[in-house]
Structure 1
Amino acid sequence: MTTTSTFVKMVFDRWNATLNNFDTLLNDLSDETLQKEVAPGKNRGIYLLGHLIAVHDDMLKLLNMGEKLYPELYEPFLNSPDKTTTQIPSIADLRIFWNSQCAILKQKCDSLQADEWFKKHTAVNAEDFAKEPHRNKLNIIITRTTHLTYHTGQLRLLK
């Protein structure tokens, strides 16, 4: 195994473990529980789930793997605070979206070779990437792993 392959494997081992931890927690939380705030005056579980789907949807574009699957989630879950819009999908639909999105993202990620993860993502131009090569596709996975871990911790407060 090359050093490049080793680094990619290390990152994806953590990414997949974080996804598994989130899925286990999500499966343990009832729809009723996901309607609750994680703390008084804070986001509800349903909002955090929708937010994570919207953020992971952006990954498809950032990684140059295709268009968003659920662009309708941008406004209520990324551009608006919780409880400011009533136009959100049901928890049942969000659970389906999450599972579908994870499967598609995994399939697309698995199709890339190790060296492709060190190429630029779509939010950086070639000139900036030449100066800052750490702004690569693998770094998107690292930052999204941290993001998912943070919100998993918030949802754990609902247990």
Structure 2
Amino acid sequence: MTTNQLIVKMVFDRWNTLLKNGDTILNAITDEQLQKEIAPNKNRGIYLLGHLIAVHDDMLPLLNLGDKEHPELFEIFVKSPDKSVEVIPSPQELRALWKNQLENLTQKLASLSVDEWFEKHTSVSAEDFIKEPHRNKLNIIITRTTHLAYHVGQLILLK
């Protein structure tokens, strides 16, 4: 195994474990629990679920894997704070989107070769990438893994 293969494997082992943990927690939380705030005057679980879907959806164009599948969620769950949008998708709708996204995203991420993970992502220019080669596609997975871990930790508080 090459060094790059090992690095990609380590990153994706963590990413996939966190996705599985998040899915397990979401399956253990009721729709009523999703309506609760993580802490007083903080985001509700349903908002965090929508937020994770929107952020992961945003990875597709960033990694040059296609267009967002649910661009309407970005405004609701990333640009707007919780409770500022009157009508949001139901827990059942978001759970279905989460499941579908897990399958689609996993399939699309698996389509990239080890070398492609070390290529630039779409929000960095070719000139900047020469100076900052760490701004690659794999780094997107690393940052999203940290983001996922943070919010999965919050969702645990709903149990």
TM over 0.5, shorter chain: yes
Q: How much has 1:87 moved relative to structure 2?
A: 2.1
List per-residue Cα deviations over 1:110-134 (Å, max 9, x = no partner): 1111011000000101000000000
Scaled by the length of structure 1, the TM-score of the pair is 0.99
1:124 corresponding residue in structure 2? 124
Structure 2 residues not aligned, in runs of 5+:
none
1:157 corresponding residue in structure 2? 157
User: How far, CA to CA, are the matches of 2:113 and 2:77 in structure 1?
Assistant: 32
User: How far, CA to CA, are the matches of 1:71 and 1:15 in structure 2?
Assistant: 23
List per-residue Cα deviations over 1:26-45 (Å, max 9, x = no partner): 00000010000010100000
SS of residue matched to 1:66: coil
Taking the TM superposition and a 5 Å limit, the aligned residue runs for 1:53-132 are: 53-132=53-132
SS of residue matched to 1:48: helix
User: How far, CA to CA, are the matches of 1:107 and 1:3 in structure 2?
Assistant: 23
User: How far, CA to CA, are the matches of 1:60 and 1:87 in structure 2?
Assistant: 26
Q: How much has 1:86 moved relative to structure 2?
A: 1.4
What amino acid does structure 1 have at the position aligned with 2:118? F
Taking the TM superposition and a 5 Å limit, the aligned residue runs for 1:23-38 are: 23-38=23-38
What amino acid does structure 2 have at the position aligned with 1:127? E
Query: Would you say how many aligned residue pairs link Structure 1 and Structure 2?
Result: 159
What amino acid does structure 2 have at the position aligned with 1:70? H
User: How far, CA to CA, are the matches of 1:86 and 1:95 in structure 2?
Assistant: 19
List per-residue Cα deviations over 1:76-122 (Å, max 9, x = no partner): 10110000011211110001111111111110111111011000000
User: How far, CA to CA, are the matches of 1:13 and 1:103 in structure 2?
Assistant: 16
Structure 1 residues not aligned, in runs of 5+:
none
User: Which aligned runs of 4 or more in structure 1 are off by greater than 3 angstroms?
Assistant: none
Scaled by the length of structure 2, the TM-score of the pair is 0.99
Q: How much has 1:2 moved relative to structure 2?
A: 1.1
SS of residue matched to 1:78: helix
What amino acid does structure 2 have at the position aligned with 1:51? H
Q: CA RMSD in A?
A: 0.6
User: How far, CA to CA, are the matches of 1:109 and 1:157 in structure 2?
Assistant: 30
Q: How much has 1:58 moved relative to structure 2?
A: 0.4
Is 1:8 the counterpart of 2:8? The answer is yes
1:142 corresponding residue in structure 2? 142
User: How far, CA to CA, are the matches of 2:31 and 2:116 in structure 1?
Assistant: 39
